[in-house]
């Protein structure tokens, strides 16, 4: 049974989950917040009504993210990200499948061939962008060129047009596409492994074109090969419709960065010879009341002085008894 058949959680319900096994502990740690995020998983699902164009778009996008995606095949009537209360089921599905990104496909007379791309923060709806499919050329229409790229390789992502910086909807589209295609974070990249290029072109304020090319290395007569691009699909022209930006307080919370590195210790330094060197501040010491270790000789002197003090206390009592006896006579 797929996750869309399950009933969503009650809004406001909280439940503390504790791991009972080592495997469960590793699973919870993998879903915990991290300073460097992993590649975001994408949930592909359909709305109440769909068209063949929408199915082809979701199939091609899922093929590009197959290793980091989950796809539903049934209809979902209650998933409406732009309506009040319509995001409850969507948040439940994303939480159940550990997918902070989602792509929703639907079709209606008012909004034909509709695609909604959105993100989650703490598995609550963060932002969303609604686009319509105007033109589509699927991967299968490009023949063998659509199968040259290897799954799992990081693509080169190119954004063409200043609209991606000045228009809010296009800036949101750029951010969403980067999150979708960036893959796993790495420190170094082998250029021989960059086998495809994802290009997004801002045609105007409300239209963008998405294309994908495969990278071919051909002979150039030198040690450096000649790089050629061959379109491999999909080729999609989107028209931007509605978009939903995150609230300022939620955005501020989502943009928080943890403080990396160790906390600085006061009065502690490091030395190449002695290693860790510290400075200690001690209050003034009173040697009379200071508890120190006692040696045997010191203990013997204390016993003798205590014996002499006891004898000195007894002598006045003996003299007093002698005086009392003389007075009685």
319 vs 321: CA distance, rounded Å = 5
Q: What is the pLDDT of residue 325?
A: 61
CA distance 154 to 184: 8
Give the pLDDT confidence score for residue 311 in this predicted structure: 81
Nearest in space to 145 (alpha carbons), one of 89, 79, 82, 215: 215
**How much is the pLDDT for 6?**
45
The continuous run of DSSP H or E covering 79 comes out as none
DSSP for residue 77? T
Q: Judge whether 24 and 108 are in contact, CB under 8 Å.
A: no
Q: What are the boundaries of each domain within the chain?
A: 41-246
- Give the Cα separation of 211 and 139 in Å (integer): 10
The β-bridge partners of 116 are 104, 130
Which residues is 128 bridged to in the sheet? 118, 244
Give the angle subtended at the CA of 68 by the CAs of 65 and 70, to the nearest 5°.
90
Q: Which two tokens stand for residue 80?
A: 């409406």
pTM: 0.72
pLDDT at 1: 37
Which residues have C-beta within 8 Å of that of residue 203, sequence separation ≥ 6? 161, 209, 237
Q: What is the full per-residue pLDDT of the chain (329 aa) written as tens digits?
A: 344 444 444 444 456 678 889 998 888 887 777 777 778 899 999 999 999 999 999 999 999 888 899 999 999 988 999 998 889 999 999 999 989 999 999 999 999 999 999 999 988 999 999 999 999 999 989 887 666 666 668 889 999 999 999 999 999 999 999 999 988 888 888 877 788 899 999 999 999 999 999 988 888 888 888 889 999 989 999 999 999 999 888 888 888 887 777 777 788 888 877 678 888 888 887 776 777 666 655 666 777 788 888 887 777 665 666 566 655 55
Report DSSP state, residue 166: H
CB 43 within 8 A of CB 73: no
CATH architecture of 41-246: 3-Layer(aba) Sandwich (3.40)
């Amino acid at each position: 049974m797929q996750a869309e058949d399950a009933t969503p959680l009650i809004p406001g319900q909280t439940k503390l989950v504790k791991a009972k096994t080592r495997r469960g502990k590793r699973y919870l740690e993998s879903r915990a917040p991290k300073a460097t995020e992993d590649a975001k998983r994408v949930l592909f699902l359909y709305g109440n009504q769909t068209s063949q164009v929408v199915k082809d778009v979701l199939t091609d996008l899922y093929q590009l993210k197959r290793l980091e995606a989950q796809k539903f095949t049934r209809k979902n009537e209650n998933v409406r990200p732009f309506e009040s209360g319509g995001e409850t089921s969507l948040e439940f599905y994303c939480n159940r499948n550990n997918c902070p990104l989602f792509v929703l496909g639907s079709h209606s007379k008012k909004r034909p061939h509709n695609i909604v791309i959105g993100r989650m923060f703490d598995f609550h709806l963060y932002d969303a962008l609604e686009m319509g499919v105007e033109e589509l050329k699927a991967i299968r229409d490009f023949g063998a060129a659509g199968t040259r790229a290897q799954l799992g390789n990081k693509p080169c992502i190119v954004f063409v047009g200043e609209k991606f910086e000045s228009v809010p909807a296009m800036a949101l589209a750029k951010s969403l596409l980067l999150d979708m295609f960036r893959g796993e974070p790495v420190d170094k990249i082998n250029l021989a492994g960059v086998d495809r290029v994802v290009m997004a072109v801002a045609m105007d304020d409300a239209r963008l074109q998405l294309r994908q090319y495969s990278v071919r290395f051909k002979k150039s007569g030198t040690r450096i090969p000649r790089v050629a691009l061959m379109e491999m699909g999909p080729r999609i022209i989107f028209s931007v419709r509605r978009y939903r930006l995150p609230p300022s307080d939620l955005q501020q919370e989502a943009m928080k960065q943890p403080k990396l590195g160790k906390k600085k210790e006061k009065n502690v330094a490091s030395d190449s010879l002695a290693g860790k060197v510290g400075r200690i501040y001690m209050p003034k010491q009173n040697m009379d009341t200071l508890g120190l270790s006692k040696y045997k000789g010191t203990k013997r002197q204390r016993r003798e002085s205590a014996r002499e003090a006891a004898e000195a206390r007894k002598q006045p009592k003996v003299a007093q008894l002698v005086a009392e006896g003389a007075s009685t006579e």
